[in-house]
Structure 1
Amino acid sequence: MLNIALVGLGFIGETHLQAYNSVKEARVHTVCTTQVTSENKVNNYKVVKEFDSVLADPEIDVVDICLPTFLHEQYIIRAARAKKHIICEKPLTLTEESVKRILQTVSDEGVRLFVGHVVRFWPEYQKLKHYIDEEVLSNVNWFTAKRLGQFPTWSNWFKEPEKSGGALFDLHIHDIDFAYYLFGNVESVYAIGQQSEEGAWSQMLTNIRFKNGVQAAIESSHEMPNGYPFTAEYRAQTSKQTLSYQMKAGSNIDDLQSASQSFDLFNDEVVKPIRVSKHDPFTLELQYFIDCINENAKNEVIPLSDVKYVIGLINSIKKSLETKEVVRL
């Protein structure tokens, strides 16, 4: 049984806290936060305000970092030096230089690091990966994806691009990462977008050419008006087939249970509705990470080499946004 210290209790921290209730062979031992909004959320756990208390506790095996992005590097490095395994919410960090420092430290200290690219565990997205790997969808040549919502309301630090990276790193990275998971290395990117008053990239559309010939168009936005449902969708096409998924939930993805969804495989004139298990993706993700630690198993779903590549890819998209030019990788 692994003891978890959950660090940060914002939106994603609360999501992880709830997910751990269904994770086997692990339990939340300590919650480290300075902002407890409801005692009911944490009354079954040890609560501390200082991260040093977590690092000094020999009972803690794993630190789950659910803090603002600009804090990730320093907290990961401190946890690694305290010989704690680490789970970190995406994005890992904002720059390639920061990634190198993080990966070097966890390697030097001999601890495990897992990064929460949760879309790789989303059942409808897992189904697409399975269909491509098993050639149910053979020779996909066109892929589109969207992720649209309002600006996150749970914290003000999102407004500052040097702290959050804006929608580019917070939202766009989900589908960029998943497209890389599907199709591999990228040949070039070209992106258009708009910036917020603070200078953060708040909505964007990226065209990607993969080295295997697949072309993709991926759109993300934090600029949708109030009342517009949080929307996630994709379409993967071959010359004869299309797999299409659409989901519309509540504002800021806080109402997935009542989301409207469609998921269909179009094969010539035949339309086949696709059914998937309704397992919580965050639970699936955290269970996988815990299993990797307990079994000393290789992380084959989100290897750190993928995390490093995707941060580089996002920064190439950022360069394209800034220069208004095609960026070749």
Structure 2
Amino acid sequence: MRVGVVGAGGIAVPHVRAWQALGAHVVVHSRRPPTAFAERHGTAVAGDLADLLATSDLVDVCSPTDTHEEVVLAAVAARRPVICEKPLARTAHGAQSLVDAARQAGVPLLPAHVVRWFPAYDALRARLSTGDLGVVDHARFTRHVQAPPDDSWFHDVARSGGVVLDLMLHDLDQALWLFGPVREVAARSLDPRQRSVRAVLAHESGVTTTVEATWGPPGTPFSTTYAVGGSRGTAAYDTTTDDEATDDEFADADPYLRQARELRDHVLTGAPARVTADDGVAAVALAERVLERLPLLGPAG
């Protein structure tokens, strides 16, 4: 399989390595020539997007959020199946337009919500599906990471959606996946620059979910947690005390590898995938509801 990866930033690395682990030939294109990236990761380089589309069986979009619409629409017009890194687009309207275009063209479009493939979250869904926890009434998710550099496009809220679309989106998707549609949203910023945000979601199912995401100061270690309470018990996970890592970075438990395999199989054979294009739209729409409840920031908030 020939996979064309658009973008050569940090998130492109695990995508490229996963495709290579599956035996794919990978070609990369980015607005800045990805020569060093290609040499470091053993990929080919496409001169432009048209060249990448012409030589790829599948397109994996890892470029900045505000470029997703342009790239996905070009891939769909070329009849290439698309996997797009989250968020699917900067706005729910934009995300829906991509889904509509893909459906009209009969082209698969799948958002890369990789946390659905992390073993600890996979296990939580399994416990919920079997009723092991009984009737769940509350859940809490947190996610912390070092903030992007101050000069990064991530801090341009108009382009990226800030910490909500970049980081919180993972757990907003989990909340929707695990507990269903959200009736009401409350949110507040935990710091003046909105680099730490907490949202409270009242689900139609009766579950109340609290979601917190933080871009921390330099040196902040990556961490995620969840705690779910039900009538028969609780489930909890904390990366600072529970270690999912394996000696082999690309063991079968690696979430990027599992994601790539499952999405590839869906594209090639129609096998079920645990994420859909509609899931991508729903996550962005929920993120927008969170953002609407926060004070407005300037473009570089």
Please confirm whether the aligned pair reaches a TM-score higher than 0.5, indicating the same fold: yes
Q: C-alpha displacement at 1:99, in angstroms? A: 1.6
> Secondary structure of 2:239's partner?
strand
- Equivalent residues in 2 for 1:1-329, closer than 5 Å: 2-23=1-22, 27-33=24-30, 34-38=33-37, 40-43=39-42, 45-57=43-55, 60-153=56-149, 156-194=152-190, 201-222=194-215, 224-248=216-240, 260-261=241-242, 279-299=253-273, 301-322=274-295
Q: Deviations over 1:60-113 (max 9, x none)?
A: 210111100000000000010011110110000121221221111111211111
Asked if the contact 1:31–1:42 (Cα under 8 Å) also holds between the matched residues in 2, the reply is no
Asked if the contact 1:11–1:154 (Cα under 8 Å) also holds between the matched residues in 2, the reply is no
Counterpart code for 1:29: V
Asked if the contact 2:38–2:45 (Cα under 8 Å) also holds between the matched residues in 1, the reply is no
Q: Decide whether aligned partners of structure 1 residues 154 and 77 sit closer, same or farther in structure 2, where only a CA change above 3 A counts.
A: farther
Sequence identity of aligned pairs in percent? 27
Q: C-alpha displacement at 1:293, in angstroms? A: 1.1
Distance 2:170 2:21 in 1: 24
Asked if the contact 1:9–1:36 (Cα under 8 Å) also holds between the matched residues in 2, the reply is no
> Secondary structure of 1:167's partner?
helix
Asked if the contact 2:137–2:206 (Cα under 8 Å) also holds between the matched residues in 1, the reply is yes
Runs of 5+ in structure 1 lacking a partner? 249-259, 264-276, 324-329
Q: Decide whether aligned partners of structure 1 residues 195 and 72 sit closer, same or farther in structure 2, where only a CA change above 3 A counts.
A: farther
Counterpart code for 1:12: I
Indicate the RMSD between aligned Cα atoms, in angstroms.
2.1
Distance 1:262 1:17 in 2: 24
User: Highest Rg: 1 or 2?
Assistant: 1
Q: C-alpha displacement at 1:31, in angstroms? A: 1.7
Counterpart code for 1:243: A
Say which structure, 1 or 2, has more relative contact order (CA 8 Å, 6+ apart).
Answer: 2
Asked if the contact 2:28–2:44 (Cα under 8 Å) also holds between the matched residues in 1, the reply is yes
Asked if the contact 1:123–1:278 (Cα under 8 Å) also holds between the matched residues in 2, the reply is no
Alignment: residue pair count: 288
Asked if the contact 1:231–1:247 (Cα under 8 Å) also holds between the matched residues in 2, the reply is yes
Asked if the contact 1:123–1:279 (Cα under 8 Å) also holds between the matched residues in 2, the reply is yes
Asked if the contact 2:4–2:53 (Cα under 8 Å) also holds between the matched residues in 1, the reply is no
Q: Decide whether aligned partners of structure 1 residues 202 and 36 sit closer, same or farther in structure 2, where only a CA change above 3 A counts.
A: farther
Length-normalised TM-score, structure 1: 0.82
